[in-house]
Amino acid sequence: MKVRDLPTPSLVVDVDALDANIATMAAARPGRTLRPHVKAFKSTELARRVAELGGHQAFCCATLREMEGMADAGLGDDLLLANETLDAPRLRHLVDRGDARVTVAVDSPETVEVAAHAGAEVLVDVDVGLPRCGCRPEDAGRLAELARTRGLNVRGVMGYEGHVVGDPDRGRRAEKVAESMALLRRAHDDVGGDVTSAGGTGTYDLHDWAGEVQAGSYLLMDTHYAALGLPFRQALRLEVTVISTSPERGWGVVDCGLKSLGMDHGNPTISGWNVFFCSDEHTTFLADATGDSEGRALPAVGARLGVLPAHVDPTVAYHDRLHLVRGDEVIDVWPVDLRGW
Provide the pLDDT for residue 293: 46
**CATH 2.40.37.20 domain range(s) in the chain:** 3-7+233-335
Separation CA 262–CA 283 (nearest Å): 13
- Domain 3-7+233-335 top-level CATH class: mainly beta
Per residue in 176-226, pLDDT tens?
999 999 999 999 999 999 999 999 999 999 999 999 999 999 999 999 999
Mean of all residue pLDDT scores within the chain: 96
Q: According to CATH, where is 3.20.20.10 located in the chain?
A: 15-218
The secondary structure element, H or E, covering residue 212 is strand 212-213
DSSP state string for 98-139: -SS-EEEEE-SHHHHHHHHHHT-EEEEEB-SS-SSS-B-GGG
Residues in the chain: 341
Whether the Cβ atoms of residue 37 and residue 28 lie closer than 8 Å to each other:
no
pLDDT digits over 21-53, tens only?
999 999 999 999 999 999 999 999 999 999 999
**296 — pLDDT class (breaks 50, 70, 90):** confident
For the segment 305-335, what is each residue's pLDDT rounded down to a tens digit?
999 999 999 999 999 999 999 999 999 999 9
Residue 334, CB half-sphere, CA atoms under 13 Å: how many? 21
Fold held by 15-218:
TIM Barrel (3.20.20)
CA separation, residue 159 to residues 78, 156, 185 (Å) = 18, 11, 10
- Contact indicator for 104, 91 with CB cutoff of 8 Å: yes
Give the pLDDT score at 287: 81
User: What pTM does this model have?
Assistant: 0.95
> Which residues, in sequence order, are bridge partners of residue 121?
103
